[in-house]
A and B are shown apart, each in its own frame.
Chain A
């Protein structure tokens, strides 16, 4: 529209407009009383222009939005109100709408009564206006409402009925609760602190009950917690938010996501909800923390004093809120219209501000802050734990939130940082649905992949729930009360199958979900046990060749791969592949994912050609299935890039990385894990190609984003720290490099486990920096640790092993132990050769081996290794490469010491470049 008009503007008009803009802008910089004179002088008698600018200046009421905003708000209200009013008197299901009770969230709530007047019960009917956002909504809706209807708790408003209006909008009929929001109730009744806590504990009981029934509220806030005249709290909208969940899969653009987010009030939303990550029972713990904060202090931990919603969201994800005790004596936000003061807030709690502060310091501060932690793992493991701590506080017993064992507990579960990361790294979106709660047949979803992802998220939520259950069994939390995971599993399994008409594979799915949960926690050994059980059950109970089995096998294969049990992993992958083939699913996303899984496994195994083959097949298939600029394609390109890297084809790798980064940049939001990952990958390659400045910037960016997304102890954050350490090393900023390498090692250890081969790799990385800093003793320790780890975590013929041997060999040379060096470097050269490593790597070790032999006084062999490796390095890396220069220096030294003047001269002549000699 605007584009077509733009072409028609005539030049004279345009110039006049420009002039008007300029005069207006300059006039607004002047004091009011000088503006008119200025305009008249500047416009040179053009009365029309003068009039126009003066009228504008009169209307210029900087900075408020004023009249325009008011007019638009009014128009929106009018439109909205009219549409709602139009519904009064209509019949929805068997209920006649009587009046509007309120609106918010995703729709409006009406008071209604039975249209047949069989009995006169009043109900609340919620009509979901945003429903059409999801084509598959009504299906999810039907499935979910059964679960919600089964929630039967005195403090939860019952779901009576649900259905669809004639226009296809879903509606929910709920028990009508006559009461006030909990915050207002407490203030009106002037409940003191103990009464508030007691009331809050009742709320916790209801939430806990729902969690035990696998329902997460997702939108807890005072408006959803009403208290009746009799003082009974009732929770509304349980699980409704999930029904309405805006976009579990971001297939639309970033903008849509952002706009959708803006429909929700984020003040009670947890960081994971804002980041669009899976919502768990822990998100409810967080929201309860916000509610508690508000009930205790009269303030919210984060308020919209931030300049924009974006800002608010950022602070929720990044900044810690002030402790409750620190806010109660502060002046109240001026935006408060009711004239609230610090004194009146305290008075409605029947104390003075000073006493209130005193009451909060210590226990209550600690408890609230524990619930409000950014990362779910650092919060209370369950609502029950939060409630238990509050009870301890009320009973004047020491609270857990202030005790050291929390640190221990957090440490143990710190690997959950990796949660959600593994999912996209390994591309397991094809996994079978874990439809324990429902048996959704999502026939109306156009895209098969989207369905898999959605159901995968459902699975994640359930398995998270299970993890919470396990956490409750932790002896450090539940002192003395031993419950084994297996018992809990059996209980849950019995309960679920009893509730759900006994689906034959429910148990297998449950086992699989638990296995997956363990895998994502990095507890691969435990994961294998559950996954193998699940595979066995599926084989027994389902006909061979169902997709469920293929999914479980894939999950198992991925886990075995993580454990380095490559042969078993390959067998599982292959069986999954043949199941897909037998089902005619040769050209599906599931097949493409399997190919990636196989490719990544071959890559880890060091079979580069096979890896490349699988990955190229997958890239081709994905490109056909989704189009060439789809994130799926970029993901596989990134894997192919790793292969190029291992083949030392840096040019090819850079090309792939740039393309992947480009695709992600145009197809994914800024903080999307994959997009951030691609920045890291490109940065890493540029660093290796010597473009350290560009690399440093990309890597810093990626690291910043990852710290927000995952925290420090995650595989991805560790990898980026490592890459940045290498970049700093290349920039000769060795102290920075060492610091980063140490951070990477700590992060890697937490993320993968101390005996994981990736942790071994970070040891060698640190050793590299230490060698550069000539701290050989420390370097040796790191390199030996790495070899020791590889010994148990990798096959013997792996390039990582060769790399560590080479490193240790160099250290031996530097510290005057040529015999040890010879042994290590010989092993390294042979291993490089057996693994098909690039020539340059072999030559690098061979040159060092030559040096060792020379020092061992075996000149004949030494000369062979030194001269051949130098030539190979010149050929493959060029004369200016660091490794080439080192090799050349060795050869020169050798000839010099042996008095081989001719050969020395020939060497100088061969490149005509002797500047590199020292």
Chain B
């Protein structure tokens, strides 16, 4: 059975709450849905990245990756062997994507970091759901290829 899953399981975790606390604390006049979600996504991304960086600092020399689900793959991972991607790598790749195609990067942020579904992303951006599907497939493949096979990008 196929069912779409939002970027991450948006359960009531402390992180999501933290994002909200910051969001609500911000005195920003929200222009529209996209604006709000864009900021929410950015905040989520920032919190996760900051935490990952902090952890890297405190455990320097120890376990470097956030989650090592596939031990022994360090430096030799193949295209489908993506178990130990961490959020910092995603962050980097996403940053590079946004330099090439800011719109695509925004869709990725909305979907993966703000947890918007395809349908909601489509509605928020005023594009078709099919376009969201296509764009995300493309973006995901690009980001993964950046992380797993660096150097292919010209």
29 sample A-B contacts, Cβ–Cβ < 8 Å, listed by A number = A1-B98, A5-B99, A6-B102, A8-B99, A17-B101, A51-B152, A52-B153, A56-B144, A59-B140, A62-B137, A66-B82, A67-B82, A70-B85, A71-B67, A71-B89, A74-B67, A74-B87, A75-B52, A79-B15, A103-B14, A129-B17, A130-B20, A253-B33, A254-B33, A259-B114, A263-B20, A307-B3, A307-B119, A308-B4
Docked Cα-Cα span, A8 to B137, in Å, equals 25
Judging by beta carbons under 8 Å apart, are A2 and B105 in contact?
Answer: yes
Query: How many A-B contacts are there with CB distance less than 8 Å?
Result: 220
Complex interface residues of chain B between 1 and 57 (CB less than 8 A to chain A):
1-18, 20-21, 23-25, 30, 32-33, 36-37, 40, 42, 47-48, 51-52, 55
Cβ-based interface call for A84 (8 A): yes
- The residue on A at minimum CB distance from B51 is A79
The 4 closest A-B pairs by CB, nearest first: A67-B82, A48-B154, A255-B36, A59-B144
Cβ-based interface call for A581 (8 A):
no
A49 CB-CB contact with B under 8 Å = yes
Cβ of B138 under 8 Å from chain A: yes
Say yes or no: is A909 at the interface (Cβ < 8 Å to chain B).
no
**B150 to chain A: closest CB distance in Å?**
9
The answer to whether B145 and A58 touch across the interface, beta carbons within 8 angstroms, is yes
> Which of A58, A62, A71 gathers most chain B CB within 10 Å?
A71
Please, which residue of chain A has its CB at the minimum distance from the CB of B123? A310
Closest residue of chain A to B67 (Cβ to Cβ) is A74
Q: Which single residue of chain A is at the shortest CB-CB distance from B52? A: A75
Instruction: Determine which of A65, A108, A132 lies in contact with B7 in the assembled complex, contact meaning CB atoms within 8 Å.
Output: A65
Residue of B90, B120, B138 touching A68 (CB-CB under 8 A): B90
Q: Which A residues, 92 to 106, have Cβ-Cβ distances below 8 Å to chain B?
A: 103-106
Q: Which residues of A contact B145 (CB under 8 A)?
A: 52, 55-56, 58-59
CB of B76 within 8 A of chain A?
no
Any B CB within 8 A of the CB of A31? no
Chain A residues with CB below 8 A from B118, complex form: 308
How many residues of chain B get a CB closer than 8 Å to chain A's CBs?
77
> Can you name the residue of chain B whose Cβ is closest to the Cβ of A18?
B101
The answer on a CB contact under 8 Å between A5 and B102 is: yes
Complex-state Cα separation, A841 to B113, whole angstroms: 60
Chain B residues lying within 8 Å of A48, measured Cβ to Cβ, are: 152-154
Chain B residues with Cβ below 8 Å from A307 are: 3-4, 117, 119
A106 touches B1 (CB 8 A): no
Using Cβ atoms and an 8 Å threshold, which residues of chain A touch B148?
55, 59
Given contacts A2-B102, A67-B83, A310-B119, 16 further A-B contacts (CB under 8 A): A1-B98, A52-B145, A59-B149, A67-B82, A68-B144, A71-B87, A74-B87, A75-B51, A82-B51, A82-B55, A84-B14, A106-B12, A107-B17, A130-B17, A256-B36, A259-B37
The reply to whether A133 and B24 contact each other, CB–CB distance below 8 Å, is yes
Asked if A902 is at the interface (CB within 8 A of a chain B CB), the reply is no
Enumerate chain B residues within 8 angstroms of A57, measured Cβ to Cβ.
141
The smallest C-beta distance from B16 to any residue of chain A, in angstroms, reads 7
> Is A121 interfacial (CB-CB < 8 Å)?
no
Q: Which residues 246-270 of A sit at the B interface, judged by CB distance below 8 A? A: 252-256, 259-260, 262-264
- Asked whether B12 lies within 8 Å of A104 as measured between CB atoms, the reply is yes
Q: Residue B143 at the A interface, CB < 8 A?
A: yes
**Chain A positions within 8 Å of B153 at CB level:** 48, 52
Quote the shortest CB–CB distance from B13 to chain A (angstroms). Answer: 5
Alpha-carbon distance A104/B16, docked complex (angstroms)? 12
Looking at A20-28, A506-514, A591-599, the stretch in contact with chain B turns out to be A20-28
Question: A35 to B102, alpha carbons, bound, how many Å?
Answer: 27
Residues of A in contact with B (beta carbons under 8 Å apart): 1-3, 5-6, 8-9, 13, 17, 21, 24-25, 28, 48-49, 51-52, 54-63, 65-80, 82-84, 103-108, 129-130, 132-133, 252-256, 259-260, 262-264, 304-305, 307-310, 334-335
CA distance A254 to B4 in the complex (A): 23
Are B25's CB and A132's CB within 8 A? yes
Instruction: Chain B residues near A84: list those with CB within 8 A.
Output: 14
Assembly CA distance A55 to B80 (angstroms): 11
In this complex, what residue of A is CB-closest to B49? Answer: A75
Answer whether A2 and B106 are a contact pair too, CB < 8 Å, given A9-B99, A106-B17, A262-B115.
yes
If the complex has contacts A72-B87, A133-B21, are A56 and B120 also in contact, measured as CB distance less than 8 A?
no
Q: Is the CB of A130 within 8 A of B12?
A: yes
Contact B33 A255 (CB under 8 A): yes
Q: How far is the CB of B15 from chain A (nearest CB, A)?
A: 5
Q: Which single member of B1, B51, B106, B119 contacts A78 (CB below 8 Å)?
A: B51
Cα distance, A259 to B153, chains bound together (Å): 36
Assembly CA distance A619 to B20 (angstroms): 34
Determine if B5 and A67 form an interchain contact, defined as CB atoms under 8 angstroms apart. no
Residue of A24, A51, A79 touching B138 (CB-CB under 8 A): A24
Asked if residues A73 and B8 are in contact (CB atoms below 8 Å), the reply is yes
| Assembly CA distance A78 to B86 (angstroms) | 11
- A334 nearest CB neighbor, chain B only: B1
* B residues in contact with A260, CB < 8 Å: 20
Q: How far does the alpha carbon of A104 sit from the alpha carbon of B87 in the complex, in Å?
A: 23
Query: Known: A104-B12, A130-B12. Is A72-B134 also a contact (CB below 8 A)?
Result: no
| B100 CB–A CB distance under 8 Å | yes
Bound Cα distance A590, B7 (Å): 45
Are B15's CB and A132's CB within 8 A?
no
Contact in complex: B40, A25 (CB < 8 Å): no
Our pick among A3, A259, A308 for the contact of B117 (Cβ within 8 Å) is: A308
- Give the docked Cα–Cα distance between A67 and B113 (Å): 14
Q: Which of B33, B141, B154 contacts A56 (CB 8 A)?
A: B141
**Roughly how many angstroms separate A106 CA and B14 CA in the complex, as a whole number?**
8
Give chain A nearest CB distance to B138 CB in angstroms: 6
Q: Which residue from B14, B69, B87 sits with its C-beta under 8 Å from A75?
A: B87
Q: Report the nearest B residue to A20, measured CB to CB.
A: B142
In the complex the two chains form, what is the Cα distance from A54 to B79 in whole Å?
11
Q: With the chains together, A412 CA to B88 CA distance in Å?
A: 62
Q: How far is the CB of A311 from chain B (nearest CB, A)?
A: 8
Q: Which residues from A are CB-within-8-Å of B90? A: 68, 71-72
Residues in A with CB closer than 8 Å to B82 are 66-67, 70-71
* Residue ID in chain B nearest A669 by CB atoms: B33
B112 touches A69 (CB 8 A): yes
Q: Which residue of A lies closest to B146 (CB)?
A: A55
Expressed in whole angstroms, the minimum distance between the Cβ of B117 and any Cβ of chain A is: 4
The winner among A60, A106, A264 for most chain B CB atoms within 10 A is A60
* CB <8 Å contact, B141 and A132: no
| Contact assessment for B152 and A2 in the assembled complex, using a CB-CB cutoff below 8 Å | no
Chain B residues whose CB sits within 8 angstroms of the CB of A133 once the complex forms: 17, 20-21, 24
Assembly CA distance A305 to B1 (angstroms): 9
- Supposing A5-B98, A71-B85, A253-B33 touch, asked if A263 and B16 sit within 8 A by C-beta, the answer is yes
- The minimal Cβ–Cβ distance linking B145 to chain A, given in whole angstroms, is 4
B52 neighbours in A (Cβ, 8 Å): 75, 78-79
B54 closest partner in A (C-beta): A82
CB neighbours (8 Å) of A106 from chain B are: 12, 17
Q: Is the CB of B85 within 8 A of A61?
A: no
Minimum distance in angstroms from A9 CB to a CB of chain B: 7
Q: Which of A55, A76, A263, A334 contacts B8 (CB 8 A)?
A: A76
Q: Which residues of B contact A108 (CB under 8 A)?
A: 14
Can you name the residue of chain A whose Cβ is closest to the Cβ of B134?
A: A25
Q: Are the CB atoms of B10 and A262 closer together than 8 Å? A: yes
Chain B nearest CB: distance from A495 CB in Å? 35
* Residue pair B112, A68 in contact (C-beta under 8 Å): yes
Chain B residue contacts of A80, Cβ below 8 A: 13-15
Q: Which residues of B contact A252 (CB under 8 A)?
A: 24, 30
| Among B5, B55, B101, contact of A69 (Cβ-Cβ < 8 Å) | B5
Task: Give the most central of A51, A54, A253, A304: most B CB within 10 Å.
Answer: A253
A28 and B137 contacting across the interface, CB-CB below 8 Å: yes
| Residues in B neighbouring A55, C-beta threshold 8 A | 79, 145, 148-149, 152
Give Cα A468 to B131, complex, Å: 50
Determine which of A71, A79, A310 lies in contact with B14 in the assembled complex, contact meaning CB atoms within 8 Å: A79
Q: A308, B119: Cβ atoms under 8 Å?
A: yes
CB distance from A63 to the nearest CB of B (A): 7
From B7, B51, B90, B101, name the one whose CB has the most chain A CB atoms within 10 angstroms. Answer: B101
Cβ contacts under 8 Å, B134 to chain A: 25
